[in-house]
Amino acid sequence: MNKSSIKKYLKFMCCIVGVLSLSGCKESSSDDKKSYTEEELYRPNFHFTPKNAWMNDPNGMFYYNGYYHLYFQYYPDSNVWGPMHWGHAISTDMVTWTEKPIAIYPDEKGYIFSGSAVVDLENTSGFGSLKNPPIVAMFTYHNPEKEKSGEPGVQSQGIAYSLDEGLTWTKYESNPVIEFPSLKDFRDPKITWDNIHKQWLMVLAAGDKTIFYGSNNLKEWKMLSDFGKSIGAHGGVWECPDFFPMLIGDSDEYKWVLLLSINPGGPNGGSATQYFVGDFDGKTFVLDESFSKDMDGQKGLWIDYGRDNYAGVTWSNISETDGRKLFLGWMSNWQYANKVPTEKWRGSMTIPRELSLIKNNGHYRVTSQPVRELQNYVSKTIKKDILHIKDKKTVLVDKSSVDLSSLDIRFTLKNLKKDVYTFSLSNSSNNSISFGINKKENYFFIDRKKSGNLSFSDAFAKQISKAPFTEDFDKIDVRVIIDKTSIEVFYNNGKTVMTEIFFPEKPMQTFSVNKENFNFTIEALTINQLNFN
């Protein structure tokens, strides 16, 4: 079946299945006679978005020959979710991206749901050669005909390979390579080379648990074990797992980390990504005892406590010389993703982040920070060594000094008391996005109730998002990444992170801080202007 026939078939199927509930079965109206002033206002400066149409989960991320590859869930014919393809973009630094043609199309076996890709350097699959190693992708086939009829085996796992470094793909003639007809939700395979146990290792989501598989050739897979039933947060279906070993700080000790996205059931509603820390013997994953106690006490530990970081996974094939564990998430939430007020495109990614595993007083935590490559885009820096905050409201910087649509801000807060410390971006339309620290009730927060356009969803700004303190403090380091319609806040070197999107009526013009009662000090305030022209 050629691509044109496939597209006609899928449009016919979408009418039957009704997947395009918000737009019917019409082509995207993005090129009709509309004004796209919103596109200029809302499209990020440096977070990846597709040029047109719908995007969600990051997929198939790998690094090879100087390029970071990002594939993503993509529906080219509408700005809402539909029959899934794999879109594709490449970058030399994970910050500036070049979008490429669609990589993998749906076929008669179904839509192409989320998955992963690896560089088969030893050609264990036999698809390439040692001189030209194949890139091997595994993805979930989702069969809409079976879903409609109630047949089993709606989701299965297929593979494809590329011999031109990920630009074009050939699907394996013996697909699917893994089936599990008794499971309705059986998807999002994440492959890694397990150098400790010398095997290809794959983890996928299976409703309320994950299943581990092992292979020697990426084509034939053996089930190893499962994990997660009745462990962790279970407010919704599990999705988009990732699994890898990490060194603890600067030591030689390591633990295995399992990332697991869930929708709904996040700490502030809707979509979010939890994580687990433990040990893996090549077959079975067991939670570390101290982590298990922490998790029970906090009802889950989360990569990001904001409402807009979902389905995040890591890049494969990062060199030992680099050594980083690099992560990217989809910057939205299924509670309103189909409704956000952009027309030509929908969906963006978080800033790429470096994950680290730390151990503090017997407690394991996964931390994250923006990748260091972002520093290469700093065009101007404003520094203030010490600010003694005595007034109820203090303006820290405004549009006369910097463009507030692209900033990397860092500072340290000292002498914090039982008070509420609120930082705000605001404009002359009385829009504001606020974040900060409530030391009266011990939580970090983001408040977007006055952030601009809220009309598209009752759920978008229904509540203030909160992240609990893990320990008390009177001093804290803060980093904030601002990109037009998103804010990413990293507390305590990324021990707690919050990411959220917003849609102001005009660009933000002022960055200020409010306190309620006590004076405090801001030290080492650094405001970096980012420039991408």
Tell me the DSSP string of 501-517: E---SS---EEEEEESS
The pairing of beta strand 345-346 with beta strand 53-64: parallel
Q: Copy the structure tokens of residue 339.
A: 């409704």
Q: Copy the structure tokens of residue 425.
A: 């971006």
Q: Which residue has tokens 């080379």?
A: 193
Full-model pTM:
0.92
The predicted pLDDT at position 6 comes to: 43
How far apart CA 440 and CA 451 sit, in angstroms, is 24
**C-alpha to C-alpha distances, 90 to 61, 62, 68, 188, nearest whole angstrom:** 10, 10, 6, 21
Active site residue 57: yes
Contact 240, 205 (CB under 8 A): yes
The pairing of beta strand 272-280 with beta strand 170-171: unpaired
SS3 string, 358-395, reads: EEECCEEEEEEEECHHHHHHEEEEEEEEEEEECCCEEE
Smallest CA-to-CA distance from 361 within 293, 260, 304 is with 293
The predicted pLDDT at position 296 comes to: 66
Q: Which amino acid is at 143?
A: N
Contact 490, 345 (CB under 8 A): no
- If phi > 0 it is left, if psi is from -120 to 50 it is alpha, else beta; for residue 198 that is left
Smallest CA-to-CA distance from 301 within 285, 314, 290 is with 290
Element housing 4 (H / E): helix 3-17
The predicted pLDDT at position 470 comes to: 81
Residue-by-residue pLDDT tens, the chain, 533 positions: 444 444 444 443 443 333 333 333 333 333 333 344 667 889 999 999 999 999 999 999 999 999 999 999 999 999 999 999 999 999 999 999 999 999 999 999 999 999 999 999 999 999 999 999 999 999 999 999 999 999 999 999 999 999 999 999 999 999 999 999 999 999 999 999 999 999 999 999 999 999 999 999 999 999 999 999 989 999 999 999 999 999 999 999 999 999 999 999 999 999 999 999 999 999 999 999 989 888 766 678 999 999 999 999 999 999 999 999 999 999 999 999 999 999 899 999 999 999 999 998 889 999 999 999 999 999 999 999 999 999 999 999 999 999 999 999 999 999 999 999 999 999 999 999 999 999 999 999 999 999 999 999 999 999 999 999 988 999 999 999 999 999 999 999 999 999 999 999 999 999 999 999 999 999 999 999 999 98
The 3-state DSSP class for residue 422 equals strand
Contact 533, 452 (CB under 8 A): no
The pairing of beta strand 272-280 with beta strand 254-263: antiparallel
Q: Which residue has tokens 């570390």?
A: 288
How far apart CA 481 and CA 57 sit, in angstroms, is 21
How far apart CA 380 and CA 404 sit, in angstroms, is 12
The 3-state DSSP class for residue 289 equals helix
Smallest CA-to-CA distance from 97 within 49, 161, 156, 164 is with 49
DSSP H helices in 154-301:
289-298
Cβ neighbours for 236, distance < 8 A, ≥ 6 positions apart: 262, 263, 264, 265
Catalytic annotation, pick one of 31, 32, 57, 408: 57
Which DSSP string corresponds to 425-459? Answer: EE-TTS-EEEEEEETTTTEEEEE-TTSS--TT-SS
